[in-house]
Chains A and B, each alone.
Chain A
């Protein structure tokens, strides 16, 4: 049989094609099996792997006496799947009757979720209800099964509970459903308090699984004394009612260590209800003004100005000064608050009568470099470093700022034209109480890791601001001034060194008729153990600190010395 030349050529083409295809197949299989093998293996593993997250609770927050203030318990939440929801009305009714809430509220929530999920970028969480106990979750599940309604998923999670309710709410902060901490201790120590989520991974239960264990969060122990905190909060609340003030702060600090024993802010909030408050648009209420709201402190700054004057040797405790009653600085007139001229005065007189003019004159003599260097050392214009989330720096303009003018030097000396948080004012005054050493305030003194390791915090000395001698002179002067000007602050047997401060309230930059009043003091003045700040915003009964804040200081101080067993220095 003879082969035609055409058919021979065809055969060669056919064979070459087959060979090429085979080569391609081999090349492709080498690519898939060898070159891209890890990628395909990874994709396959991901498709086949089952991953289970193992959650653990956040750490517990205890007060200094070991009483728990924040605990995590198992709770349940209901999540809606809008695509599977068919009968919103019946579903709402079933959930409402199981959890004891109005059906309209549940229905509104479900309808809002459905509407939102229809958008291109949904913004609303699909959570319908949270913080349900086991019994109610069972009731919901039973009700939904009996009614045959779908589209609601029940999830278990660790919910945060604050057993003492509103007590120390702003200081503790709150936790969302993630759970992540916000504000206060929960916010600052979120990393330590957070649990390590464990994982269990495997293709099937018949194969060995990879397990990374979960770990509960570290427990933290506060310096806060619940008893004192409770008293401070109640006394502050009473002060708001009696004075007509809108809000207020009371902070009690251990002088030598900087440990915060109580930190009350009113109106506070119940951290158990924080998410509800936030969802109702009250996010601005969920802050701690003691640490995050700077204000114009007023005359409580005068002790710092005079401490600078004594420390730099400009004056001594016995120096005689002249009060002209009026001072003109770059076209602005400064008067004493009583609009009087006092003539020859001592530093004690200046502090007792809270005279603006000699204080401003002294600041001008000191000069901006010295004055602001000291003020910055006192901690103004920078955070105190207290372990609470959201601390503000306040505003202290210095000659380096373009907005600064020489009038600022004069007004800053008596606490106007600058802003500071209550913690900054307290901490600066505490430097005088603590023999000139500025401490770093703190609220957590220990945290206990789940592996049993305890980390205890030691008091931190930030820096020396003034000499020991200057601090002692200032305390003596302030103690004498307190006896003369605000004897209401005194406790039998406990000499008090303190200072009042009154400043105007500003709303949207406009000066209001109302005031912000502060009293900061330390006791016993000879060897201080406690430094206490009381601040009230816009009291209506009196614009003066001596009338409104001093009684609060006295009551809190009396309770604190009793509770902490601080003996009197002299027989009462």
Chain B
């Protein structure tokens, strides 16, 4: 490989300066083109990867939203008055026959607090 390159350089030295310039220009163009192609491929690959990741995240987001909403739906079923009543009755609870209200006065209690040692 090294011999081949050495031979190539030797031959190039023997050619006219105009030919060398043409060749240099041609080589530079090829290099630039290759560089651009590599850059385009890298960007495209990155875009494709991002697009795939985005799709995956969207799907995951939809799954999670669905999981959250399914849980809300289950909470809704469990906390619906009908279900709550059935469970409360099964647990032995009954509606109170009578509710007692105790009259309180905030002024009295604050005074009482002040009076307490």
Mark A residues whose CB is within 8 Å of B: 54, 56-57, 60, 67-69, 71-74, 161, 163-165, 167, 200, 202, 205-209, 211, 216, 226-227, 229-231, 562, 567-568
List the A side residues contacting B62 at CB < 8 Å. 74
Task: Point out which of B65, B75, B77 has the most chain A C-beta atoms below 10 A from its C-beta.
Answer: B65
Tell me if B34 is interfacial: C-beta within 8 Å of chain A.
Answer: no
Q: How far is the CA of A206 from the CA of B48 in the complex (A)?
A: 5
A72 in complex: contacting residue of B44, B69, B81, CB < 8 Å: B69
B65 touches A206 (CB 8 A): no
The distance from the CB of A375 to the nearest CB of chain B, in whole angstroms, is: 38
Query: 1/0 per residue B14-54: CB within 8 Å of A?
Result: 00000000000000000000000000000011011001101
Q: How far is the CA of A467 from the CA of B52 in the complex (A)?
A: 68
Q: How far is the CA of A230 from the CA of B44 in the complex (A)?
A: 59
List the B side residues contacting A568 at CB < 8 Å. 101
Query: 1/0 per residue B69-86: CB within 8 Å of A?
Result: 110111111011110010
Name B's interface SS.
helix
B51 touches A226 (CB 8 A): no
Q: How far is the CA of A164 from the CA of B58 in the complex (A)?
A: 30
- Cβ-closest chain A residue relative to B62: A74
On whether A74 and B66 interact (CB within 8 A), knowing A68-B76, A161-B73, A206-B48, the answer reads yes
Q: How far is the CA of A211 from the CA of B82 in the complex (A)?
A: 45
Q: A68-B73, A68-B76 given. 5 additional CB < 8 A pairs?
A: A71-B69, A205-B51, A226-B80, A227-B81, A562-B96
Q: How far is the CA of A68 from the CA of B68 in the complex (A)?
A: 12
B76 touches A205 (CB 8 A): no
Q: How far is the CA of A167 from the CA of B80 in the complex (A)?
A: 9
B69 touches A167 (CB 8 A): no
B76 touches A67 (CB 8 A): yes
A60 touches B80 (CB 8 A): no
Task: Point out which of B48, B73, B74, B103 has the most chain A C-beta atoms below 10 A from its C-beta.
Answer: B73
List the B side residues contacting A211 at CB < 8 Å. 54
Mark B residues whose CB is within 8 Å of A: 44-45, 47-48, 51-52, 54, 58, 62, 65-66, 69-70, 72-77, 79-82, 85, 96, 99, 101, 103
A202 touches B51 (CB 8 A): yes
The distance from the CB of B67 to the nearest CB of chain A, in whole angstroms, is: 10
On whether A71 and B101 interact (CB within 8 A), knowing A56-B65, A206-B47, the answer reads no
List the B side residues contacting A165 at CB < 8 Å. 80, 82
Q: How far is the CA of A80 from the CA of B68 in the complex (A)?
A: 31
List the B side residues contacting A163 at CB < 8 Å. 73-77, 80
Q: How far is the CA of A211 from the CA of B61 in the complex (A)?
A: 15
- Cβ-closest chain B residue relative to A75: B66
List the A side residues contacting B72 at CB < 8 Å. 60, 68, 71
List the B side residues contacting A216 at CB < 8 Å. 65
Q: How far is the CA of A206 from the CA of B99 in the complex (A)?
A: 71
B75 in complex: contacting residue of A68, A74, A200, A206, CB < 8 Å: A68
Q: How far is the CA of A54 from the CA of B72 in the complex (A)?
A: 22
Task: Point out which of A67, A72, A200 has the most chain B C-beta atoms below 10 A from its C-beta.
Answer: A67
The distance from the CB of B58 to the nearest CB of chain A, in whole angstroms, is: 6
B73 in complex: contacting residue of A73, A167, A227, CB < 8 Å: A73
A164 touches B82 (CB 8 A): yes
B81 touches A207 (CB 8 A): no
List the B side residues contacting A206 at CB < 8 Å. 44-45, 47-48
Q: How far is the CA of A216 from the CA of B69 in the complex (A)?
A: 11
A230 touches B82 (CB 8 A): yes
5 sample A-B contacts, Cβ–Cβ < 8 Å, listed by A number: A56-B65, A164-B82, A167-B80, A205-B47, A206-B48
The distance from the CB of A169 to the nearest CB of chain B, in whole angstroms, is: 13
Q: How far is the CA of A229 from the CA of B44 in the complex (A)?
A: 58
Q: How far is the CA of A105 from the CA of B75 in the complex (A)?
A: 33
